[in-house]
Amino acid sequence: MNKGVLLVNLGSPKSTDPKDVKKYLGEFLMDERVIDVPYIARAILVKGIILNTRPKQSAKAYSKIWWDEGSPLIVLTERLQKKVQERTDLPVEIAMRYGTPSIKEGLQKLHDQGIDEVFLMPLYPQHAMATTETILVLAEALRAEFFPKMKITNVPSFYNREDYSKVLAESIGEHLKELDYEHLLFSYHGVPERHIRKSDVTKMHCKIDGSCCSAGSKAHAFCYRHQCYETTRKVGQYLNLEPGTFSTSFQSRLGFDPWLQPYTDRTIERMGKEGFKKMAIVTPAFVSDCLETLEEIAMEGQEIFHEAGGKEFTTIPCLNDRDDWAQVIANWINEWAIVHSGKAIA
């Protein structure tokens, strides 16, 4: 079988025009794994309320971080693709879960090159319904409908792979050694608490009180909260960070239902009010800088910290297109090609 690779990221509006932003938000928020309520309720919320107010606000936010080349997330993913391609003989394409290039377009490009076995890698270190799962579900549906002879090998969450942890820790460490900081905050994208319970394959392990994340369970393979805290722990261990000098929080909540806590914005505010003057923040749920890192954290987070009395606020970049990160991905691809097992890498 002829092998190829599809790297899948979140996605982005085509431009900062409110019409393009509205189209993107509509696709994103109507995903049943993002807002997991019955269709009618979701349509009323998204199409009847959110899309009548949010696009203009979001368009302004995108305008603040947009590059001359286009969307930072798209540009960074393209740069990563190029570097990975330089390190493997297999054809490497990219796709976005929302917007373009779509997953169907990515699979079509591979199909047109005679590829019938695909290494599909969601660019999310931790597993969540609204990230990894929605990519894999859609990809399989598209494969079954349009590419029935194609075989897809899904890459599972890689938060605990040693080579990834090493590259992540070293990327953070490189910035920390140049900083005089008092606290390092690991901010992960938020999800509703109900998503954690829905993803619990045991239907009984997750209690979201901290105790379950440290107790061994097969539920951890799909538990976003556990995987976030484990990512933080592994980086802290690798960098020999002192206890109390780093912590975990969750950003980007929507609606009124309880989401994973502590919330990033409130944590930043609290730290400023408690007298912290210098803090750094890293966003390991994303491998590519995007609206959530460049605007929500680097801009809004900094403003919150300053208003609360803080002085120096440093946002550490995502892995983006680092050479060592591209090499890690290429290694996974090449190992898969050699093993030829048809199963996801361990």
pLDDT number for residue 346: 42
pLDDT of residue 344: 44
Pair 13, 24: CB distance under 8 Å: yes
The larger pLDDT score, comparing residue 158 to residue 339, is at 158
> Mind listing the domains of the chain with CATH numbers?
3-157+323-339 (3.40.50.1400), 162-315 (3.40.50.1400)
Peptide bond into 38 cis (omega under 30): no
- Tokens linked to 247: 């912590």
Give the Cα separation of 41 and 199 in Å (integer): 22
Q: Residue 178: helix, strand or coil by DSSP?
A: coil
**How far apart are alpha carbons 271 and 276 in whole angstroms?**
6
Span 287-293, mean pLDDT? Answer: 98
Q: What is the pLDDT of residue 305?
A: 98
Q: How many CB atoms lie within 10 A of CB 174?
A: 12
Q: Is pLDDT of 172 > 70?
A: yes
Residue 341 pLDDT exceeds 60? no
- Evaluate if residue 345 carries a pLDDT over 60: no
Residue 91 DSSP SS3: coil
Res 340: pLDDT: 62
C-alpha closest to that of 50 among 192, 254, 193, 250: 254
pTM score of the predicted model:
0.94
Q: In the chain, pLDDT over 90 holds for what percent of residues?
A: 86
Distance of CA 38 to the CA centre of its chain: 25
Task: For the chain, give the mean pLDDT.
Answer: 94
As a whole number of angstroms, the distance between CA 276 and CA 215 comes to: 33
Least confident of 119-133, 226-240, 244-258, 318-332: 244-258
Question: Which of the four pLDDT bands, split at 50, 70 and 90, describes residue 224?
Answer: very high
Flag whether pLDDT at 285 surpasses 60.
Answer: yes
The confidence score (pLDDT) of residue 342 equals 46
Q: Are 173 and 239 in contact (CB under 8 A)?
A: yes
Q: Which residues, in sequence order, are CB contacts of 259 under 8 Å at separation 6+?
A: 190, 191, 192, 193, 250, 253
Question: 152 pairs with which residues across the strands?
Answer: 118
Instruction: Determine what percent of the chain is predicted with pLDDT higher than 70.
Output: 98
Residues making up the chain, counted from first to last = 346
pLDDT for 41-60, tens place per residue?
A: 999 999 999 999 999 999 99
Q: In what order do the strands lie in the sheet with 246-251?
A: 246-251, 183-189, 278-282, 312-315
Residue 327, pLDDT > 70, answer: yes
Mean pLDDT, range 89-105, rounded to an integer: 98
